[in-house]
Structure 1
Amino acid sequence: MDARKLLLLFLLAATLLALGVVGVSFYFLRPLKAEPWVEGALKGTGLEVREASYGLELSPKNPKALFAFYPGARVEPLAYAPVLAPVAQAGYQVVLLKVPSGIALLAKEEALKAKAAHPNLPLVVGGHSLGGVAAADLAAREKLPLILFASYPEGDLSRETFPTLALYGTEDGLLPREEAREKAKRLPRNARIAFIPGLNHAGFGAYGPQKGDRPAQRPREELWQEVQEEVLLFLESLGWDTPPPPQALR
């Protein structure tokens, strides 16, 4: 085989390899978009909805605290609005954080940017799935209250004592119940751990089905309400039931 044919074969192989890499990257990194109705639904909530450099803010009047939330891998932050908007309506400023390439581990500090924009509000961090791993890392470092959806810390935090809520679904195909129970051993002592009957992995947001997951076994509006109730009970247990004085918010 002459040199010209070898060169052509080499170029063809390199092109096919490049296309394969692009295709695999697109498959694994393609965003999981919020369902089309979600953005419009926010208009009737009475919240101030604002895009900031660090994420989407859902703001009530005179918020009691700031809840910064890391999305799951590749999930558009807006997808969590149906679950967390009622939390904002109850008086907690919610920030759905933006993270590069949809990977929260690449932006663990993002919640602190939201805090810097609202220095007089106490900060709670949380996240779904991989986003929860990032939130747990920041919570451990800064000793912040933590809320996890279908997630767990990367390291062992069982000797820690900061307030923690961890919610899981009984139908989660990506984090099955027994695995979740085992991983929950890493949580801070006295963490509240609850399994929502009928809830799956993707059911913590509104972005459609997720590969490897199981179908939810109950209407998602019911499931979301249970998640909201758990989150609000946790937040209220922190003792921030009175908003900061108005001058502190200026």
Structure 2
Amino acid sequence: MRGNRVLALILGGALVLGAAVVGAGLYFLRPLPAEPLALEALRGGVKRPYGYLLAPEAPKALLAFYPGARVDPRAYAPLLAPLTRKGYAVALLQVPLGIALLAKERGLEAGRELGLPLVLGGHSLGGVAAAEVAAREGLPLILFASYPEEDLSDKTLPTLALYGTEDGLLPPEEARKKAGRLPRGARVVFIEGLNHAGFGAYGAQKGDRPAKRAREVLWREVREEVLLFLEGLGWDTPTSPQTLR
């Protein structure tokens, strides 16, 4: 009898511990939801197996974009959806548990479906995934508040890297050091007043600093840099943007 009681206590304790671990995992992996503003910006998009597709009638290229860790990919719609008015399709990639490293090939899936010239981009951890695949496949790369995990400075790969002067998760001084890992000829730009979460519309992020300018103004400046990069690629013979460090 005593043995059965001890066993029951052990099993009960294990169940409680397991439930606590699962609960903690769900808590820390809970997504950072897209704001209503972002959902509105996504109107007209199409749900695809790899995520959400926004495309004009005759797109000239595709930007496949990996979200930051635990961020709803739709949160980037206010920033990136207007690119469709300039002729570019945008795929906001949906990844398991909001972790882009668990679905690094998703951008290539989008590219295969549309059969367009492909650019990979990503925010924060999503940029790490984008950089790995872009380096392997020789594709143009756009990074928001991110840098490659591996040193790519020996590679010539068209690259745009944007950072915020108010980023609390990747402060400017650290971003400048990490920029040494970027491909040769990368264009590096620090957006004045922009923070880490300011690249999307998903609310404040723990450890970040407040943005110091209106986000609509910041989004416009980021989008202008992205468009300048895309327009300068030259799809027949891609060229590296001028370095700005």
TM-score for the superposition, normalised by structure 2:
0.92
3-state SS, counterpart of residue 200 of structure 1: coil
Q: Does 1:141 align with 2:136?
A: yes
Aligned-pair distance for 1:89?
A: 1.6
- Structure 1 runs (4+) deviating above 3 angstroms are none
For residue 199 of structure 2, what is the aligned residue in structure 1? 204
Name the counterpart of 2:14.
14
Residue of structure 1 equivalent to 2:48: 52
Question: Are residues 1:115 and 2:111 paired?
Answer: yes
CA 1:135 to 1:41, structure 2 compared with 1: closer, same or farther past 3 Å?
Answer: closer
- Of 7-16 and 184-193, deviating more is 7-16
Let me know the Cα RMSD of the aligned residues.
1.6
For 2:135 and 2:100, the matched residues in 1 are separated by 16
What is the 5 A alignment of 1:1-250?
2-43=2-43, 48-119=44-115, 121-240=116-235
Gaps of 5+ in 1: 242-250
Q: Amino acid of the residue matched to residue 129 of structure 1?
A: S
Change (3 A) 1:99 1:42: closer
Q: In 1, distance between residues paired with 2:76 and 2:235?
A: 23
Displacement after TM superposition at 1:5 (Å): 4.0
Partner of 2:240: none
Secondary structure of the structure 2 residue equivalent to 1:160: coil
- Tell me how far 1:179 sits from its aligned partner: 1.2
Q: Is the 8 A contact 2:41 2:81 kept in 1?
A: no
Distance 1:41 1:135, change over 3 A: closer
The one-letter amino acid paired with 2:40 is G
* Structure 1 stretch displaced more, 227-236 or 30-39: 30-39
Deviation sequence 1:89-111 (CA, Å, 0-9, x none)? 21111000111111111111111
Note the residue ranges of structure 2 that are not aligned, 5 or more in a row: 237-245
Percent of aligned pairs with the same amino acid: 68
Contact 2:37 2:201 (8 Å CA) reproduced: no
Between the aligned partners of 1:18 and 1:219, the Cα distance in structure 2 is 44
Measure the CA separation in 1 of the matches of 2:37 and 2:184: 39
Q: What TM-score, normalized by structure 1, do the two folds share?
A: 0.90
Contact 2:162 2:190 (8 Å CA) reproduced = yes
